[in-house]
Amino acid sequence: MNEPFCSTQGHGALRGRTCAGGLAVLTAFAVVGCVAHLDQTDPGIRAELRAVDLLKREVPAWSRDNHCFSCHNNGDAARALYLASRKGHRIPARDLKETTAWLARPDRWEKNKGDPGFSDQHLANIQFAASLLAATETSHVRGRGKVREAARKVAADQSADGSWPVDAGNAVGSPATYGTTLATFMAWRVLRSADAPGTAEAVRKAGKWLRQSPTTTVMATATSILALKHEVTEAARLQRQECLELLRRAQTSDGGWGPYADSPPEAFDTAVVLLALAEMRESTGVKEIILRGRSFLVAQQQPDGGWPATTRPSGGQSYAQRISTTGWATIALLATRE
């Protein structure tokens, strides 16, 4: 499995030094929010706070130490910080300054060359575009022009069948390399939200691919719910309900989910399922399922605020996967907070 664009060499615990070429820093954007009103006696809130503190250190550290930008720190992890700022966490402007400037220049993304053996430009475009979308939705980047530019870049990478075949040999996906199903959903979400001229056909084809994608893994099942969020037909409602029942049965005794219904639970798979369940929280029994999933994530959090890397196969060590796992877990807690 390849590590993500501008990533670590190997699976060490320390950040890699594999990138070349610095990039200019543009204007920082003010970040608003305050944690005073958050109930810090709640275990989920405390988990959010620890995770955000870790990510506030790690997101700017990557570009400072490696002189480039990564899919894990400046993609998944930064996306978590942008969304945390909207949910009441105070994120100092300096912590996102360089990332925001980088994301706001989609025309420069392909110049961010790292070790070619650990790079996937198509993946980078999706992850940076998703982070840029979060920055735009939380007013760190003003206007929709940049995210539309990024959407056109992402659309150009779409395959003829409507998907984005990223890490295609990995059926279940991973936090930092996504896999085809999650990559296609994230690309589709960017395109749909950006509504950029000339991308309507790409949106249609991606939506069709997602609707027809087999729900043979927990990831594919959760992604199907997310992709059907805006569908109002009876067929879509029945498909969502069927997927919900599959996820209900796949939840493990300790509240998490693994890549398959009979797999041990992992933080990443649990996070993606929780994001899907957040879209169906008013369905019977779903709030209880969410609470158990949140409890699993809280229990798995490590003392420094991060989560163990979800790797394929399980049990590996990877800085990139750990930071992306932490980003996804943080986003899941934010999305499912009552």
- 128-153 CB burial, b ≥16 within 10 A, e <16: bbbbbbbbbebebbeebebbbbbbbb
What topology does CATH give the domain 43-336? Glycosyltransferase (1.50.10)
CA 100 to chain CA centroid, nearest Å: 16
Question: In a structure prediction context, what are the per-residue pLDDT tens digits for the chain, which is 338 residues long?
Answer: 334 434 332 333 334 433 333 333 333 333 333 465 788 889 999 999 999 999 999 999 999 999 999 999 999 999 999 999 999 999 999 999 999 999 999 999 999 865 444 569 999 999 999 999 999 999 999 999 999 999 999 999 999 999 999 988 888 999 999 999 999 999 999 999 999 999 999 999 999 999 999 999 999 999 999 999 988 899 999 999 999 999 999 999 999 999 999 999 999 999 999 999 999 999 999 999 999 999 999 999 999 999 999 999 999 999 999 999 999 999 999 999 98
Query: Identity (one letter) of the amino acid at 279?
Result: E
Contact of 293 with 256, CB cutoff 8 Å: yes
**The whole model's pTM is what?**
0.89
SS3 173: coil
| Annotated domain spans of the chain | 43-336
Residue with tokens 């992890």: 77
Q: Can you tell me the distance from the alpha carbon of 198 to that of 113, in angstroms, rounded to the nearest whole number? A: 28
Contact of 58 with 69, CB cutoff 8 Å: no
